[in-house]
Amino acid sequence: MGPDGQQIGIKPLPEALAIARAQDLDLVEVAAQANPPVCRVMDYGKYKYEAAQKAKESRRKTTNVVIKEMKYRPKISGGDFDTKTRKVEKFLAEGHKVKVTLTFRGREVYHPELGKKILDQVEEAVKDVGRVEIFPRIDGRNMTMVLAPDKRAQAAAQKAKATAEAEAEEAAAEQATPDASSEAPPSESSD
């Protein structure tokens, strides 16, 4: 095969090498199993470089999924809960999985329903960006749950946000432009 993909035909090896050298290119064996073997006239250095660039680009596009962890307590205050939950939402929006760990101390371990209630609140708060991958379970003095990013829920939330912003802009534009009927010319009074 030639450098531009056209078929040259069956040639003996010395003649194929002469054709490649005449064009200042390389003769590369493409299919050794074929009868006769298929060779191609190409710039092998350029081919290797382009293959390395494609591999580098594909590695760059891959996402590294990291499991982040957020720890809660059964007696967590409202402000702390909100702060930690916003952080969990941020992690999920970035595409990371989040392991939510609820630690029991002392006699709190005898009331797992309190821990389940906290984890349910977390799940409800992040339903727009994530979903439960591993449901809550007790491991000794800890109750754990794993959340994963939910691309469909994130896309739906962004679409709803975009439509709400567009409607708000339309309403603002309508208020900014005065109606022709409300602007009547002042009436002249005769004195």
Q: Domain-by-domain residue ranges, the chain?
A: 13-61, 67-152
Question: For residue 141, which of 120, 116, 112 has the smallest C-alpha distance?
Answer: 112
Give mean pLDDT, residues 104-114.
87
Residues 54, 50: Cα–Cα separation, whole Å: 6
Residue 179 has a pLDDT of: 53
For residue 16, give the 3-state DSSP assignment: helix
Which residues, other chains included, contact 37 with Cβ-Cβ below 8 Å and sequence gap of 6+? 29, 31
Fold of 13-61: Ubiquitin-like (UB roll) (3.10.20)
Which residue is associated with the tokens 């962890």?
69
Reading across the β-sheet that carries 130-139, which strands appear in turn?
67-72, 97-103, 142-149, 130-139
More confident residue, 126 or 60: 126
Give mean pLDDT, residues 129-145.
87
Residue 106 has a pLDDT of: 87
Residue 91 has a pLDDT of: 87
More confident residue, 65 or 119: 119
Q: Are 105 and 143 in contact (CB under 8 A)?
A: no
CATH 3.30.110.10 correct for 67-152: yes
Residue 186 has a pLDDT of: 57
Question: In the predicted model, is pLDDT for residue 190 greater than 70?
Answer: no
